Structure 1
Amino acid sequence: MKKNILTLSLLFAISLCLSFIPAEQKFLPTSLRITIINELGNVEEGAKVILYKSKEDYNQEKNAIGEPQTTDKKGRVTFKKLEPVVYFVHAEKGDRNNYGAGVQTDTLQEGRINKVNIVIE
């Protein structure tokens, strides 16, 4: 009987502690949703997007995070299961790219879907 009460008390204490963690951090991996837009502000379907973890890798175009992704009809790609750090984005479609128009994200927030717009021109 005492053992059952102790077990129930322990389970209650654990569930109480977990209830104070935001739901996003319990269930969602850290993700980055990138929307590619052109200089007029229109979304770009079919743009190739590559993610890098360092500026050096970005400059040398090596050690990409995962496979390159292609934007959907809403101009979006999503990279999942990322670390909460700064990333560097390369986006291109035809002869347009994002050089000089923003390539670095802010530090991602853990357990959230982080969102960023990238302009190609």
Structure 2
Amino acid sequence: MKKLLLFGIVAMLTFTFTNLHAQLIKTSLTIIVRDDTGNTVNNVSVKLFENEEDYKKEVNPVAEGLTDDKGVVRFKALKSIAYYVLARKDDLDNSGGGELIGKLEDQKFNKVTIVIQ
């Protein structure tokens, strides 16, 4: 009887923590922006788009932000899809490569590096 009770408690706790994890961890994306020499770049405007048409027209970004002093920008509570990324500072951007990032892993902290030239 004690084994059955213990099993029930363990099963209930496992379900509770799994459900709690799903509620606490939102799909997020950290982008590190570097220049062509590998140095991180601050104050880069970074925009995420859900489709290529919006990306090409530069309309309807689903998220946008500026990189910090370490060249990092973070986006939280995103859909688990692939995104088009536009990173731009002055005359530097990521056009010609690195515009599309793969599908984000659901309820994970995703991370990519973008190079601007």
Q: CA deviation at 1:26?
A: 4.5
Alignment pair present for 1:96 and 2:86: no
SS of match in other structure, 2:103: coil
Distance 1:116 1:23 in 2: 26
Aligned residues with identical type, % of pairs: 35
Query: What CA deviation, in whole Å up to 9, does each residue of 1:30-82 have, x standing for no partner?
Result: 0010110000000001111011011111011111013x311001101011100
Structure 1 runs of 4+ off > 6 angstroms?
none
CA distance in 1, matches of 2:14, 2:71: 41
Q: Once superposed, what is the RMSD of the aligned Cα atoms?
A: 2.3
Written as runs of structure 1 = structure 2, the 5 A alignment for 1:3-42 is: 12=9, 13-19=11-17, 21=18, 25-42=22-39
**TM-score for both structures, normalised by structure 2:** 0.84
Unaligned runs of 5+ in 1: 1-7
Alpha-carbon distance in structure 1 between the residues aligned to 2:14 and 2:113? 38
Unaligned runs of 5+ residues in structure 2 are none
Task: Quote the offset at 1:15 in angstroms.
Answer: 2.8
